[in-house]
Amino acid sequence: MNNVKIIGVGSYAPERVVTNFELSEIVDTSDEWISSRTGIKERRITEGENTSSLAAKAALGAIKDAKIDPLELDLIILATTSPDSFTPSTACLVQAIIGADNATCFDIGAACSGFIYGLNVATQFIKTGAAKTVLVIGAEVLSKILDWEDRSTCVLFGDGAGAAILKRSETNGILSIFTGSDGKGAEFLECPAVSVKNPFVTKNHEKTEVISMNGKEVFRFAVKAMPTGIEEVLKDSPYTIDDIKYIVPHQANMRIIEHVAKKLNIDSSKFFINLDRYGNTSAATIPIALDEMSKAGLLESGDKIIIIGFGGGLTFGSALIEW
């Protein structure tokens, strides 16, 4: 089996910054209410760019970082909850924008765990020899599927995209990956698609295509799923948590991260946090964080990190990576 390594990362977020104070002018909330419950201070919101545009800009950043030509890409996997359309896939739209004419393209839907799911799929393609160089993107324009009158959801989310280039390598960078799902909890975090409506339906059930969430149930799921994911990727490796330089969690809620750190007796400084500036960008949170960490010089060759995510589905996943 081939080895797999991340050779480049990139990210993009819209220029428009929306603060908690601005949100308090359109919905019944306050900076104190949002900050104390989530740790979020601001988020980026698109002023017209769709998911494919954000994704393409993150992809081009990763391609530049990896020092490859887009034509070298064999595969593009794009994780999103907010595609431009049902069809074509947003991955195909990105392919056309960046000029990756030789790539096979498809989207996957695993909500906030999407980037890790995409990383897993890409790794298997490379390990088996079906692909050599793969672009994995997590991209969201969640602002288009939010109920801006629902303060329990609209204050949480933001728009953004992150990407990584994976390539066949002499050395192994993806040391372990774990994913899981719990469809019994599907109702706790959902965004309906088009309702069933045709001449043969006896009764139409219209649904509003916006995100709804049972915060308590998602919290309960997250604080179980994150420790499980961390333990799973370490258990068959020669490493312990002490060998891990950073844990890069899905940036959803500071209370969740603090709870997990306390539960596992891990110093909170080991967790990389940027949710105060971006909010929850779903599938994009982890790759955005990786790009920020790389650009800031926080990651050096040989560093061991764990990425860990959870989201609608319900889904969860983790990966042990050597940088």
Distance CA 108, CA 124 (A): 15
pLDDT of residue 196: 84
3-state secondary structure of 102: coil
Bridge partners (DSSP) of residue 44 are 17
> What's the average model confidence in pLDDT over 7-25?
97
**Core vs surface per residue 293-312: b (16+ CB within 10 A) or e:** bbeeebbeeeebbbbbbbbb
> What is this structure's pTM?
0.96
Which amino acid, one-letter code, is at 157?
F
* Distance, C-alpha 79 to centroid of its chain: 7
> What's the average model confidence in pLDDT over 38-63?
98
154 is known as an active-site residue? no
Tell me, yes or no, if the two domains 3-170 and 175-322 fold the same way.
yes
- Average confidence score pLDDT of the chain: 96
Distance CA 71, CA 289 (A): 26
Count Cα neighbours of 15 within 13 Å in the Cβ-side half-sphere: 2
**Catalytic pick among 20, 92, 250, 253:** 250
Task: Report how far apart, in Å, the C-alpha atoms of 285 and of each of 115, 280, 288 are.
Answer: 9, 7, 5
Distance CA 159, CA 288 (A): 11
Residue 107 pLDDT grade (very low, low, confident, very high; cuts 50, 70, 90): very high
Give the pairing of strands 304-311 and 246-249: parallel
Bridge partners (DSSP) of residue 271 are 247
Residue 195 pLDDT grade (very low, low, confident, very high; cuts 50, 70, 90): confident
Q: Are 40 and 20 in contact (CB under 8 A)?
A: yes
The CATH homologous superfamily to which domain 3-170 belongs is Thiolase/Chalcone synthase (3.40.47.10)
- Residue 98 — φ and ψ, nearest 5°? -95, -10
> What's the average model confidence in pLDDT over 233-259?
96
Domain covering 175-322 assigned CATH 2.40.50.100 in the classification: no
Residue spans of the domains in the chain: they are 3-170, 175-322
**Catalytic pick among 92, 105, 112, 154:** 112
Per-residue pLDDT reduced to its tens digit, 55-100: 999 999 999 999 999 999 999 999 999 999 999 999 999 999 999 9
Length of the chain (residues): 323
> What's the average model confidence in pLDDT over 162-166?
98
204 is known as an active-site residue? no
Comparing 80-84, 104-108, 148-152, the range with the smallest average pLDDT is 148-152
Query: What does the longest C-alpha to C-alpha distance in the chain come to?
Result: 61
Per-residue pLDDT reduced to its tens digit, 270-318: 999 999 999 999 999 999 999 999 999 999 999 999 999 999 999 999 9
280 is known as an active-site residue? yes
